[in-house]
Amino acid sequence: MKQLADLLFEANFLKKVPRSGFQFLGAGSESVAEHSFTAAFIALVMSRMVPEADSARLVAMCLVHDLPEARMGDLNYVQKQYVKADEAKALADGCGELPMGNEFRAWIEEFNQGTTVEARLANDADQLSLILELKTLSDIGYSPPGHWLPNVLKRLKTDTGRRLAAMIMESDHDHWWRKIFVDSNNVPK
């Protein structure tokens, strides 16, 4: 089915769509695909912390929540004050004819409504992905993330999201690898 190949190319295109908020930050960069991967991975971790959550649905929401951005681009909070994106049309045009099109639409709608446990966790995974980026930039010496982080932290909706955010904020971005080579004196010779 050629439409499936088109969908795969469209999803792959997200690797080329930049997340636009970094322009305001003045440092860092990330594609929508990089962000979606991180959010989906965080969602997988969260699904193990909240066993009553439907893991497959939670991860699926994070994988597809920004799929329409392949057609619309990533609109940041400033741009959204002036531009109204038609996410439903972008999604309908991209996968309306596909057997899984209704499922994709349902996941994105659920994500946007934020009323289910999975949607609240997915929204937190979305924000935690940004928190990881901001914390990394802060750790390497950029000061603007310090102005952004308090606002992003306030967007978290679940205790699980807040616990993970606290762990992130209390950790250094490079601790995971530094403990292997630097702190343990296992520097390769």
Return the pLDDT at 130.
97
Q: In the structure, what pLDDT confidence band is assigned to residue 187 with cuts at 50, 70 and 90?
A: low
Q: Could you give the count of Cα atoms lying within 13 Å of 183 in the half-sphere of its Cβ?
A: 7
Cβ–Cβ < 8 Å for 153, 131: yes
* Residues 110-135 pLDDT 10s: 999 999 999 999 999 999 999 999 99
Other CB atoms within 10 A of residue 100 CB: 14
* Residues 169-182 pLDDT 10s: 999 999 998 888 77
- Is the pLDDT at 39 greater than 60? The verdict is yes
Mean pLDDT of 98-102: 91
* Residues 134-157 pLDDT 10s: 999 999 999 999 999 999 999 999
Cβ–Cβ < 8 Å for 131, 42: no
List the Cα angle 14/15/17 in 5-degree steps: 60
Return the pLDDT at 58.
98
Return the pLDDT at 96.
85
- The second-level CATH assignment, the architecture, of 2-181 is Orthogonal Bundle (1.10)
Pull the structure tokens for residue 43: 């969602």
- Is the pLDDT at 73 greater than 60? The verdict is yes
Question: How much is the pTM?
Answer: 0.93
Domain segments of the chain as ranges: 2-181
